[in-house]
A and B are shown apart, each in its own frame.
Chain A
Amino acid sequence: MNISCFQMMSLCRKEWRIVMDTPLGYVMAIAFLMVSGFFFESNLFLIGQADMRAWFSILSLLLMFFIPAMAMRMLADEKRSGTFELLATMPVTTISIVLGKYFALWVQVLALLALTLLYPLTLSWLGDLDLGQVSASYLAAILLASSYAAVCLYASAITRYEVVAYVLGFVMILLLFLLSKAIPTFSPAVQDWLVLLSPVSHYESMLRGLIRLSDVMFFVVMTGIFLTLTWFELERRRWR
């Protein structure tokens, strides 16, 4: 295996170990399942159909609260405790650090989403669930969560304080979310551009069961931009 790939995996493994050895991961998983489960069952009995579209809409809001909480310590804690100096003086490139951290966070988010597979399994047992649409929705949720994770990793890179990282990550995602809600207030010409820039618009488009390359690319590009910003932020100390 390539050495930098091995290092990224080691970094990822270390993050996992911290999540598993501390109450952090368990508290997060239990809280997420409680809140998402509440919205799942309340919608289920309200609508009375084997349909998850309403739940997936709410999921985008839940991710807005939970992903900043999972990402806040990733780099802020390393900077505050001084271990970033240890990490940055190991024979590892900054991009490997960023990707290792991001991959660790991404796998955690994926694990959280995997826990919710219980809901479509229950629904498919109870009624006739459109598995194609649910699969596309899960792909949309993974892509949205991946881009939110990149935003929050960047927030964690620009501060030494975890709480500040949480608030910054949350506010940045909230602004992106509000952008989609404010679209109707703009002129039609501007609306077309804003729809293109709003992650929630792309997410909701995929919830219809339609996987368009433009939607997928939007999330990939957004993730790439924020990972580049994170790299830039970590490298900045060298340029002062």
Chain B
Amino acid sequence: MIQADKLSRLYGDKYAVRDLSFHVRRGEVMGLLGPNGAGKSTTMKMLTCFLPPSSGSVVLAGLPLHDDLEVRRRVGYLPEHAPSYIDLNVEAHLSFVGRMHGIPTATLSDRIREMSTLCGLEGRLHQRIDELSKGYRQRVGLASSMLHDPECLILDEPTTGLDPNQMVEIRQLIRRLGEKKTVLLSSHVLSEVDAVCDRMMIIDDGVLGAMGTRDELIGLTSAGLVLHVCMRGNATAVVARIREQYKDCTVDMSDSTDNGLSELVFRHADMNIPLAESVFSAVVAEAGVILDMHMQETSLEDVFHHLTGRPL
């Protein structure tokens, strides 16, 4: 549904996006993840025909990007900060957007009502946009982008400025939309991408770092099995038992003399060994007590850090 091939954009002699290739299928929500200035918005501006690519090609809803009017008809776009005509009321703004997209006058008001219900804007239609909160303006932006029932939705940071409840609502809405449409959304909030997207791509300095599902990305950077244990008892004997069982297992141990507790971190390259059970048995065999035991999970933050060499 969106097929980008070696997409690049130069600003002066500096690449904002370089050789970006990806595809998004119909009925899929793809997340574009990266820090500020990574090239997310430039990518979206190219996909929505606002900026032409310096090189590379894009096929969007079956159409090449140079067929720009037809592409724009099939794409719904929410630009960053959800700009809208603040001097108009919500209904007038949506009417304008609808008419510009060629929605027939006879069906326009029904469509506006439908979208305002979907985006939780009922009761706000006659309110001026400059009197609305940031969250409601974001909803107006979302309603505008979906008004003409586009095949593809391109949303640039759709939940910026929303409170936690609004965020949950908008994410649920995007998920629902993603069942039928192709959705590409950008964000620098990992939890958002994690909660909403089927697949994600990480870009940094305009270059694609990685692309895949959450598990695929985590698999790329997994540091193996990491088990944290806090125990009381003979930790040295426990470590000896585990080392005997798993030769490649490394252990960091720190003892706290104040309360007689030991903190142990076991690491093993193989994710599939029953290390937790073995540690449990070893502690029981040494008559010790486990106060805490948990696996360290690789997060998307770790993936990003691993790929870019810096935190998000």
- 9-residue interface stretch from B47-55, B228-236, B255-263, B290-298: B47-55
Question: Is the CB–CB distance between B11 and A82 below 8 Å?
Answer: no
Q: Which of B81, B88, B144 contacts A17, CB < 8 Å?
A: B88
> Is B280 engaged at the interface, CB distance under 8 Å to the other chain?
no
> Is A11 engaged at the interface, CB distance under 8 Å to the other chain?
yes
Question: Is the CB–CB distance between A22 and B87 below 8 Å?
Answer: yes
Question: Is the CB–CB distance between B99 and A7 below 8 Å?
Answer: yes
Given contacts A17-B92, A18-B85, A82-B81, A91 and B99 within 8 Å (CB-CB): no
> Is B70 engaged at the interface, CB distance under 8 Å to the other chain?
yes
Question: Is the CB–CB distance between B88 and A90 below 8 Å?
Answer: no
**A87's closest neighbor in chain B, by CB?**
B100
Q: Which of A6, A21, A22, A83 contacts B83, CB < 8 Å?
A: A83
Q: Which of A22, A89, A238 contacts B79, CB < 8 Å?
A: A89
Question: Is the CB–CB distance between A85 and B50 below 8 Å?
Answer: yes
Given contacts A85-B50, A89-B49, A90-B72, A7 and B100 within 8 Å (CB-CB): yes
A1-44 interface code vs B (CB 8 A; 1 in, 0 out): 00100110011011001100110000000000000000000000
Question: Is the CB–CB distance between A14 and B96 below 8 Å?
Answer: yes
Which residues of chain B have C-beta atoms less than 8 A from A86's C-beta?
77, 79, 83-84, 97, 144
How many residues from A make CB contacts under 8 Å with B? 26
Which residues of chain A have C-beta atoms less than 8 A from B92's C-beta?
14, 17, 21
Which residues of chain B have C-beta atoms less than 8 A from A6's C-beta?
99, 102
Q: In chain B, residues 76-119, which have Cβ atoms closer than 8 Å to a Cβ of chain A?
A: 77, 79-81, 83-88, 92, 96-97, 99-102
* Docked CA distance A86–B50 (Å): 9
Expressed in whole angstroms, the minimum distance between the Cβ of B205 and any Cβ of chain A is: 20
Q: In chain B, residues 101-144, which have Cβ atoms closer than 8 Å to a Cβ of chain A?
A: 101-102, 128, 144
Given contacts A10-B100, A85-B50, A91 and B72 within 8 Å (CB-CB): yes
Expressed in whole angstroms, the minimum distance between the Cβ of B141 and any Cβ of chain A is: 8
* Docked CA distance A36–B102 (Å): 41
Q: How large is the interface on B (under 10, 10 to 19, 20 to 34, 35 or more residues)?
A: 20 to 34
Expressed in whole angstroms, the minimum distance between the Cβ of B28 and any Cβ of chain A is: 22
* Docked CA distance A90–B74 (Å): 10
Given contacts A14-B96, A85-B50, A238-B51, A91 and B70 within 8 Å (CB-CB): yes
Question: Is the CB–CB distance between A81 and B49 below 8 Å?
Answer: no
Question: Is the CB–CB distance between A10 and B99 below 8 Å?
Answer: yes
* Docked CA distance A237–B87 (Å): 26
Given contacts A10-B100, A11-B100, A89 and B83 within 8 Å (CB-CB): no
Which residues of chain A have C-beta atoms less than 8 A from B75's C-beta?
89
Q: In chain A, residues 220-240, which have Cβ atoms closer than 8 Å to a Cβ of chain B?
A: 237-238, 240
Which residues of chain B have C-beta atoms less than 8 A from A237's C-beta?
50-51
* Docked CA distance A21–B102 (Å): 24
* Docked CA distance A93–B84 (Å): 20
**A88's closest neighbor in chain B, by CB?**
B50
Which residues of chain A have C-beta atoms less than 8 A from B87's C-beta?
18, 21-22
> Is B73 engaged at the interface, CB distance under 8 Å to the other chain?
yes
Which residues of chain B have C-beta atoms less than 8 A from A13's C-beta?
96, 99
**A18's closest neighbor in chain B, by CB?**
B87
* Docked CA distance A3–B72 (Å): 14
> Is A92 engaged at the interface, CB distance under 8 Å to the other chain?
yes
Expressed in whole angstroms, the minimum distance between the Cβ of A53 and any Cβ of chain B is: 39
Given contacts A10-B96, A14-B85, A85-B50, A91 and B79 within 8 Å (CB-CB): no
Which residues of chain B have C-beta atoms less than 8 A from A83's C-beta?
83-85
Expressed in whole angstroms, the minimum distance between the Cβ of B221 and any Cβ of chain A is: 35
Which residues of chain A have C-beta atoms less than 8 A from B99's C-beta?
6-7, 10, 13
Question: Is the CB–CB distance between A89 and B48 below 8 Å?
Answer: yes
Q: In chain A, residues 70-107, which have Cβ atoms closer than 8 Å to a Cβ of chain B?
A: 81-83, 85-93
Question: Is the CB–CB distance between A21 and B69 below 8 Å?
Answer: no
Expressed in whole angstroms, the minimum distance between the Cβ of A232 and any Cβ of chain B is: 16
Question: Is the CB–CB distance between B48 and A93 below 8 Å?
Answer: no
* Docked CA distance A93–B51 (Å): 14
Question: Is the CB–CB distance between B11 and A91 below 8 Å?
Answer: no
**A82's closest neighbor in chain B, by CB?**
B83
Which residues of chain A have C-beta atoms less than 8 A from B69's C-beta?
91-93
Question: Is the CB–CB distance between B96 and A85 below 8 Å?
Answer: no
Given contacts A22-B87, A237-B51, A90 and B100 within 8 Å (CB-CB): yes
Expressed in whole angstroms, the minimum distance between the Cβ of B196 and any Cβ of chain A is: 22
Which residues of chain A have C-beta atoms less than 8 A from B86's C-beta?
81
* Docked CA distance A134–B72 (Å): 48
Which residues of chain A have C-beta atoms less than 8 A from B49's C-beta?
89
Besides A6-B102, A89-B50, 10 new A-B residue pairs in contact (Cβ under 8 A), listed by A number:
A6-B99, A7-B99, A7-B102, A10-B96, A21-B92, A89-B75, A89-B77, A90-B72, A91-B70, A92-B69
9 A-B residue pairs with CB within 8 Å: A3-B102, A7-B102, A10-B96, A10-B100, A18-B88, A21-B87, A85-B50, A89-B77, A89-B79
